[in-house]
Structure 1
């Protein structure tokens, strides 16, 4: 596999670079910049939602329409450069100039005077907001202890150990374990202890030497450590739920880890199933030409060029392609994905479901955006999980 990976990366890089010769060094520098952004944990996030008006007395907030703000459901929004956070609910009215939504709560910060914000699917920020017992634990990984939240299931006894049924939640790229708080109540109801983990380079767990993402090619080892931790706490029935890039890591775990047999099933929320497909789609949305996209991918997958992106080793995109490797999947899988996901298009999930209809079930949403299926229709989302978990026996 290593020689195949190296050959693919060299060929991709050479062909694409040749195509960029006519546009000069600037285009190649752009491709390297794109590659670096893909694997570098973000530090600054754009506030791309305009706040037009706030009426806290009436409980409304008026926003500029965007592909996110017009979608029904309940969401969160950071404002004032992440100094504040609020929750919004149903759309009360909308036209091409403004969207009026229910203002459910200002969690923290002062909304008066805020003019811009950043849309979020988190809804809950802290574990105590769920009103459920939990404890902070540390998962031993090969890089050091990684913090995690542990919520005992409804039938569990004690802060960590007790019930034998566990679900391990792995968040996506550029966020933290707060992303998975939305999933805790349904699993609590089902009697599962929920372990929400952190992993390398997410800002909470220990960082790797290069401080860069591996897109699941290395992060799965932290999930493996979490499975080992759960087994040490007497977990007998283990599920894993991966969100976005956490889905890619989950797929790597169940196809590469010696502990994969300990996991009874996996749930993938808006998962990355094939990075090549996803990164090409994201670059196209940004208006980047084909040669720039191919050089960026070639840099990340090349033995000799990956250092340009700040990585200490290349990423094996062949190994990360679970559509081509579908025959290696042995674990029952529930995929939750939406046609409205433009960040990680549903194509990869559709292809995996077609390739493995024997063990893969796809719950297909329409309007929901990336990792915001719960926000759009929490009843259907939770029902899909309950039904699938019940089908496991």
Structure 2
């Protein structure tokens, strides 16, 4: 992707920056910096109201084609929007899974009826979504899912368990990868279903994390139901649909993630200046390395943006996950011994929360080991790892 921008692009940047400055005020002023990874519990209802405020002014789903309710922004313009949004300190958005994952999947692969039914609710932030992929026995090996769905009288009946389901406690719908048949390979016989969450056959149980919060959940389907036409793509061919969704996950919004990383790094630098840790040559060198690493991540993302989200996505995941985990370690080392104790009622500091949550970065979204295997076997042509 070219790093140059046009006059129209820069006007958009000014418009976005000005709108955010004007609107992150009044009842929304206190939301700056809230939400995001590891902090999804913060002011959820207030952030939902903010997201609907964005939508009412045309600032949701900005990259979607106008015919589907978006702004039809170019790739460069989407980058500008996400960067300005993150720079403003605007709160983490609550409809990421619908806007960035399911919506683009339906635009690319859904039927006109599915698009008409589900896309307006995502644009208006009236229906929230979660992702039903991972299972206790099918995490990195996603094709091993055992949740089953059977078509019975025009309805799919779903039974099984999903785990690590982000924001399931708030979601109205879930896009579920379920086994609806068999085939020669375990990737065969999977279907991509759209399942309502608010029904008797769905139970959500929170998973308490090291941070004391629970943005992840277990979800149990016990004869849960959805309409027969709520399958995206062909029945039994859901693997390709699921992979398309994961491709969208590595899109433009990753640049906004890096702006969030920049804010965290800046906060660590400020802390190091305030407590004298910056005088330590080892810590100072690690801060410089963190700055350099973040620039590498940004430039790699820009270089690969807009192309096929294939194996480059594995490189991207390895780059940011390891970097962010190291940042969490740096944060505690800058704080010093005080970072080893917590306040009353397990009240974590920002540095402690960063350290604890970032331990998961190299695991969720595809573990480092899996990403390295993908690169080794499918890009470099090395022998396959021995499998039981």
**TM-score normalised by length of structure 1:** 0.28
Structure showing greater relative contact order (alpha-carbon pairs closer than 8 Å, 6 or more residues apart) = 1
- Flag the structure with higher strand content: 1
